[in-house]
Structures are given as structure tokens and as C-alpha cells.
Amino acid sequence: MVKDAFNTFFRKKPALILIALKKGARARYGSLLAKEVDCTYSHAVKILQSLEKFGLVAFEKKGRIKLIKLTNKGQDVAESIQKIRDTFENLHVK
């Protein structure tokens, strides 16, 4: 029920991708993020492209792999989303 409250206010996958990137100290690649948030690779790429347009993530090409990392703005947004998510998890359903 509480997770439903979080999903009511946020699009789940983009929020989870930002949180997953925040948790890791190093840059990640798309297929790993897709597995972490339980979505397809193509869906993760579309989300990441949108996040890049907002300046929340940056791509870095390393050989054949594109690494993804949070920008400073992305870090701030991810921290805010995590705080809100934690608040929802501490709610008690009446």
C-alpha cells in the first residue's frame, strides 16, 4: 500500500534509475541499470535519454560501452526522490 503511494506521485522507473545511480559510487552502463530497476534495455535507454535532456545524467563513451553517471543536478534530484521515498516507506496505512 505504501509503495502504491510512492508510485502515485512518481513515475516508478525513472525515479528508480536515478536512485540506483545515486547508490553506486561509479558510473554504470544501461543494461545493468535496466536489470536493477526491472525494465527492458530499450525502455531504460528511452528513460536515460529523457534524463539526459533534463541535465540529470551524462553519458561517457568508454570503448564500446556508454557509461552513465549522475550530474550534480541529477545527484540533488536523486537525493530528494530518495528522501520522499523513505518518507512514504515510514507511513502507516490507516
Each residue's pLDDT expressed in tens, for the chain with a length of 94 residues: 455 667 677 888 999 999 999 987 777 889 999 999 999 999 999 999 999 999 999 999 989 889 999 999 999 999 999 999 888 887 766 6
Give the range of the structural domain holding residue 23, as residue numbers without chain letter: 2-89
Q: Is position 84 within any domain?
A: yes
Q: How many domains does the chain have?
A: 1
d(CA 94, CA 82): 23
Backbone angles phi, psi at 24, to 5 degrees: -85, 135
With 0.85 as the threshold, say if the pTM is over it: no
Looking at residue 31, which CATH number applies to its domain? 1.10.10.10
d(CA 91, CA 15): 19
Q: Is position 94 within any domain?
A: no
Q: Is position 16 within any domain?
A: yes
Q: Is position 79 within any domain?
A: yes
Q: Is position 78 within any domain?
A: yes
